[in-house]
Structure 1
């Protein structure tokens, strides 16, 4: 690891916060994708039940 001098705490904190935010965005994206797939599946099932194309 490179020597960051007196800014070690600030740089490592920024990296940590950035990683947490990116992980949060990935989790939110996965959750929304799962909800969208479930909604689409439900709509497709209702359409098939009603005999519409």
Structure 2
């Protein structure tokens, strides 16, 4: 299924690998920040009078 990349195989596969790692890092960072902000917002909402 994978095309023959010839002498560029290592460069192409390294680029794919780097892209996967970077996108995974961005997704992880986004999820971490989202959870942190949600906790902060819940704390602020608990302090507000009803």
Normalising to structure 1: TM-score of the pair? 0.88
**Higher radius of gyration, 1 or 2:** 1
Unpaired segments ≥5 residues, structure 2:
none
Normalising to structure 2: TM-score of the pair? 0.93
Aligned-residue CA RMSD (Å): 0.8
Deviating beyond 6 angstroms after TM superposition, the runs of 4 or more aligned structure 1 residues are: none
Count of paired positions = 49
- Deviation string 1:3-39 (CA, Å, 9 cap, x unpaired) is 0010000000000000000000000000000001000
Q: Which has the higher contact order (CA 8 A, sep 6+)?
A: 2
